[in-house]
């Protein structure tokens, strides 16, 4: 059963959530996720997805994995508050499903990811606007979610159709006063469905010069990573790493130990980027290569191949959700849609 809530009541809900949870949304005026004001968070439901992905709430850009040595006076790690992420889009939910396959596989359970994943509450919303770079239908996605959230808000006249998919989503709404909710009418549900279809058509139209249609259960036929055809695109790459940092599915990390004091040390994990020449650098003899992919061409190829060829094989899912963030962020103006379009054979 779907419910209806007015826009004012939705803002009231957000203010109420804030009393009991660390609530993060992105405001219409911002690009990044933050503790925005309630009405700004709800206004952002009507905007395209945020420029920044919510990946950092599952795997922070830098985190301590533990301390060792003389710990007598080391500070205890503060427990993190449960976070509600507000205004999450369907592409982000697919990205989270992908990260689950990476970090919660049988043999490779990551306890740090797992703890955050379990505590994170998701309030998603349908896209009723999109960025020029969005292309989720080309990679099997849709601009609205039907699963993977605790609550989902679909804008309709005067408010939102609200869907509940978990007990804690129901509990969150109950905390805010269930009498604010009414059963959604047939007309409100029909309006939601019409808008969803219109957004799918708009996304297809804005990408109608592209012919590739990648799928979770098929590898996209791209050249090998040492093929000279990649050079056409690699020539524009300046190795800034923006594409991997901003991507909701890129998940490579780097581990290092740092000294905290006499006999005290800390192991730290940070994001890494497969585009950088330092990536995968290995210690060893004088003749050892600094990196397995010394050519930029091979590193750029690897990123694209990992998303469109290796991930379907390894995780039965594409490693790209079509959010378009790397298209917007790339300093070399490399558009991953064009790369796949021109090089897929």
31 contacts ligand SF4 (rule: CB under 6 A): no
Mask for 143-162, x = binds ligand SF4 (CB under 6 A): --------------------
* Segment interacting with ligand SF4, rule: CB under 6 A, options 41-49, 154-162, 181-189, 244-252: 244-252
Is residue 118 within 8 Å of 89, Cβ to Cβ?
no
Beta partners for 121?
A: 84
Is residue 62 within 8 Å of 73, Cβ to Cβ?
no
Supply the minimum distance, in Å, between the C-beta of residue 205 and ligand SF4.
18
36 contacts ligand SF4 (rule: CB under 6 A): no
325 contacts ligand SF4 (rule: CB under 6 A): yes
Nearer to ligand SF4, 145 or 246 (CB): 246
Closest CA to 117 of 197, 38, 194, 55: 55
Own/partner pairs for 183-191, CB < 8 Å, 24+ apart?
183/1, 183/2, 183/3, 183/4, 184/2, 184/3, 184/4, 185/4, 188/4, 188/156, 188/157, 188/161, 189/2, 189/161, 191/156, 191/157
Q: Which residues contact residue 12 at a Cβ distance below 8 angstroms, ignoring those fewer than 6 apart? A: 38, 176, 177, 180
- Burial profile 262-290: b = 16 or more Cβ within 10 angstroms, e = fewer: eebbbeebebbbbbbeebbeeeeeeeeee
Supply the minimum distance, in Å, between the C-beta of residue 212 and ligand SF4.
13
248 contacts ligand SF4 (rule: CB under 6 A): yes
* Segment interacting with ligand SF4, rule: CB under 6 A, options 28-36, 148-156, 182-190, 234-242: 234-242
330 contacts ligand SF4 (rule: CB under 6 A): yes
240 contacts ligand SF4 (rule: CB under 6 A): yes
Nearer to ligand SF4, 192 or 337 (CB): 337
By CB under 6 A, the count of residues binding ligand SF4 is 26
317 contacts ligand SF4 (rule: CB under 6 A): no
Among residues 332, 338, 341, 344, the one that binds ligand SF4 under rule CB under 6 A: 332
Among residues 242, 305, 339, 340, the one that binds ligand SF4 under rule CB under 6 A: 242
Bridge-based pairing state of the strands 264-271 and 62-69 = antiparallel
334 contacts ligand SF4 (rule: CB under 6 A): yes
Angstrom distance (rounded) from CA 240 to CA 259: 28
Angstrom distance (rounded) from CA 278 to CA 193: 48
Residue 122 Cα to chain centre, angstroms: 12
Supply the minimum distance, in Å, between the C-beta of residue 222 and ligand SF4.
14
Supply the minimum distance, in Å, between the C-beta of residue 266 and ligand SF4.
29
Mask for 274-293, x = binds ligand SF4 (CB under 6 A): -x------------------
Nearer to ligand SF4, 88 or 330 (CB): 330
Structural element, H or E, at residue 62: strand 62-69
* Residues of the shown chain interacting with ligand SF4 in the complex, contacts defined by CB under 6 A: 237-243, 246-249, 275, 307, 320-326, 329-332, 334, 336
């Amino acid at each position: 059963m779907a419910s209806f809530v007015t826009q004012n009541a939705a803002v009231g809900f957000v203010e109420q959530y804030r009393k009991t949870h660390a609530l993060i949304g992105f405001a219409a005026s911002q690009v990044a996720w933050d503790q925005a004001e309630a009405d700004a968070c709800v206004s952002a439901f009507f905007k395209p997805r945020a420029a920044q992905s919510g990946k950092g709430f599952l795997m922070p850009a830098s985190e301590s994995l533990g301390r060792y040595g003389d710990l007598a006076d080391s500070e205890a790690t503060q427990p993190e508050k449960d976070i509600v992420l507000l205004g999450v889009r369907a592409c982000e939910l697919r990205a989270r499903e992908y990260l689950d396959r990476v970090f919660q596989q049988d043999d490779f359970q990551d306890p740090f990811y797992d703890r955050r994943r379990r505590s994170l509450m998701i309030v998603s919303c349908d896209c009723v606007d999109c960025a020029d770079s969005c292309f989720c239908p080309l990679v099997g996605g849709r601009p609205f979610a039907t699963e993977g959230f605790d609550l989902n808000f679909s804008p309709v006249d005067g408010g939102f159709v609200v869907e509940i998919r978990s007990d804690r989503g129901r509990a969150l709404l109950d905390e805010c006063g269930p009498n604010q909710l009414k059963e959604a009418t047939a007309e409100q549900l029909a309006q939601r469905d019409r808008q969803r279809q219109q957004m799918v058509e708009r996304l297809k139209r804005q990408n109608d010069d592209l012919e590739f249609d990648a799928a979770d259960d098929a590898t996209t036929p791209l050249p090998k990573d040492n093929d000279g055809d990649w050079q056409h695109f690699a020539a524009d790459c300046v190795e800034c790493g923006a594409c991997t940092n901003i991507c909701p599915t890129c998940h490579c990390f780097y581990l290092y130990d740092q000294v905290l004091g006499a006999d005290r040390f800390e192991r730290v994990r940070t994001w890494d980027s497969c585009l950088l020449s330092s990536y995968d650098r290995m210690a060893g003899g004088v003749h050892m290569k600094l990196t397995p992919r010394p050519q930029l061409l091979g590193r750029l190829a690897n990123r694209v191949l990992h998303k469109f060829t290796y991930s379907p094989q390894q995780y039965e899912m594409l490693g790209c959700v079509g959010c378009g963030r790397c298209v917007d962020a790339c300093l070399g103006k490399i558009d991953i849609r064009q790369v796949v379009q021109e090089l897929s054979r």
